[in-house]
Amino acid sequence: MTAQAFSSGRVLAVVPARGGSVGVPLKNLEPVGGRSLVARAVEACLATARIDDVVVSSDHPRILEAGRRAGARPLERPAELSGSQATSESAVLHAIDQLPPALAPEIVVLVQCTSPFIDSAALDEAIATVASGRADTAFSAIDNHAFLWRPDGTQSVVGVNHDSSAARQRRQDRDPEFRETGAFYVMRVANLRAHGRRFVGRLHAQLVPELHALEIDTPADLAVARALASVIDRPAALDVDAVVTDFDGVHTDDSAYVDQTGTETVRVSRSDGMGVKLAREAGLRLLILSTEENPVVAARATKLKVPVLQGIADKAQALKEWLAAENLDPARVAYVGNDVNDLGCLDLVGWPVAVADAHPKVLGVARLVLSRRGGDGAVRELCDLAVTGAGRREA
């Protein structure tokens, strides 16, 4: 089959996301970089220029709701298409068939949320390649230079993509090979209907950055993805209207000095003070929110000229009330914390942030992990990012 002529038809992205998972239960709802895997997949699709509609197909209500909140059309998948033996192609065809005729796509993109780092620009290029007629199917891939081996039926192994009996080739002298990453597959709907499979006709391997090739199948993969997110997702600026900080473990190193009278003192960073000053001057709203009720918290807040709420048992409720009183959109607020009592607040805002030495559960849900530890310039680092974002808005 030859590639078809240029297409200007609609492009649909389908994100199949079953509730069942053997390696990681409800894997598609696990957070990486502060967003669930299904939300990350939807956001990557919405960030392209060529995708018209995004559908999340699932048998699980929480996954469907997560897809809806991220901006996709939620589509409940029937039980017969939701088992471990059901193919992704069947889910894609089901999604296509549920759309009204006016929204019928000519090109469909299968996007897998087990790939947390989907490159939107590469996805756009792959769609353009199929739409232009240069290929019938395009899929994400990376250059592969591995020397592969397989058992030879005896007690030895034999080279798969190289001749072990010949002189060892240099990497640059070998023929190019590509490894499929599993992130996305771009197909013509007519071909998918006719053949029931994704690889039809002329195939194009769309190269993506190697760091984006991770697929999550096990808890270890998830841990690696979360560590990579702090590098891959790190923004040059934060476009937020407010910065809210915990106190202990954020403004401090989470330790205290106690003298013979029981008076507590803490160590803070002078650079944090300058960061807060610059944030105030940039028009950002600031708040310190602390469970502890201690004169040192109030004294530091007064020094910084920042309002403070302390002695708070339910920090999430207090934050929710403050956001409402200040008429702030939670999606445009950054909250930085370090321990498990910050998890409720982190879940409320668009930018959940963790200091570098935060509790593992906080690191797991953070959209941004700072390079600085609590009490060692973490507040300054966050304020600098927010001030840069405010400057870009003014420009």
Tell me which of 19 and 287 has the higher pLDDT.
287
Q: What is the pLDDT of residue 375?
A: 95
Question: What pLDDT does 15 receive?
Answer: 97
pLDDT at residue 83 tops 80: no
Q: What pLDDT shows up at residue 147?
A: 87
In the numeric block, the tokens 């199948």 are attached to 217
Sequence letter at residue 61: P
Helices (H) and strands (E) in the chain, counts: 12, 19
Q: How far apart are CA 270 and CA 286, in angstroms?
A: 17
Other beta carbons within 10 angstroms of residue 314's beta carbon come to: 12
The pLDDT tens digits for 218-234 are: 999 999 999 899 889 88
Cβ density class 176-214: b for 16+ within 10 Å, e for less:
eeeeebbbbbbbbbebbeeeeebebbbebbbbbeeebbb
Average pLDDT over residues 209-213: 90
pLDDT digits (tens, 9 = 90+) for 296-344: 999 999 999 999 999 999 999 999 999 999 999 999 999 999 999 999 9
pLDDT at 248: 94
Q: Give me the pLDDT at residue 173, please.
A: 75
State residue 265 phi and psi, 5-degree precision. Answer: -130, 160
* Average pLDDT for 47-71: 95
Mean pLDDT score, 245-260: 91
- For residues 207-221, give the mean pLDDT: 92
Q: Give pLDDT tens digits for 155-207.
A: 899 888 888 878 887 777 777 889 999 999 999 999 999 999 999 999 999 99
Over the stretch 106-121, which tens digit does the pLDDT of each residue have? 999 999 999 999 999 9
CA nearest neighbour of 168 among 179, 178, 159: 159
pLDDT greater than 80 at residue 21: no
Q: State the virtual CA torsion across 293, 294, 300, 302 in degrees, nearest 10.
A: 70
Q: Could you give the percent of the chain with pLDDT greater than 90?
A: 71
DSSP string, 298-319: HHHHHHHT--EE-S-S-HHHHH
Under 8 Å between Cβ of 111 and 215: no
Per-chain mean pLDDT for the chain: 91
Domains of the chain (ranges; CATH) run: 11-232 (3.90.550.10), 242-394 (3.40.50.1000)
| pLDDT of res. 72 | 96
- The model's pLDDT over 339-386, given as tens digits with 9 standing for 90+, comes to 999 999 999 999 999 999 999 999 988 999 999 999 999 999 999 999
Judge residue 149's burial from the number of C-beta atoms within 10 Å of its C-beta, 0-12 exposed, 13-18 middle, 19 or more buried.
middle
Write the single-letter amino acid at 57.
S
Average pLDDT on 38-55 reads 96
In terms of DSSP bridges, do strands 178-188 and 137-143 run parallel, antiparallel, or are they unpaired? antiparallel
Which residues are paired to 258 by β-bridges?
A: 264
CA atoms within 13 A on the CB side of 159: 11
The residue type of 251 is H
**Could you tell me the CA-to-CA distances from 277 to 282, 285, 333, 379, 387 in Å, in that order?**
9, 11, 18, 11, 10
| Rounded alpha-carbon distances, angstroms, from residue 59 to 62, 72, 83, 255, 280 | 9, 15, 9, 47, 47
Q: What is the pLDDT of residue 292?
A: 83
d(CA 98, CA 104): 9
pLDDT the model gives residue 8: 57
In the chain, what's the furthest Cα-to-Cα distance? Answer: 85
DSSP 3-state of 81: helix
How confident is the model at residue 180, as a pLDDT? 95
Does the pLDDT at position 2 exceed 50? no
Residue 81 has pLDDT above 90, yes or no: no
Q: What pLDDT score was predicted for residue 395?
A: 61
Long-range contact list for 103-106, CB < 8 A, 24+ apart? Answer: 103/10, 103/12, 103/52, 103/53, 104/10, 104/189, 105/9, 105/10, 105/11, 105/12, 105/52, 105/53, 105/189, 106/7, 106/9, 106/10, 106/11, 106/188, 106/189, 106/190
Q: Is the pLDDT of residue 5 over 70?
A: no
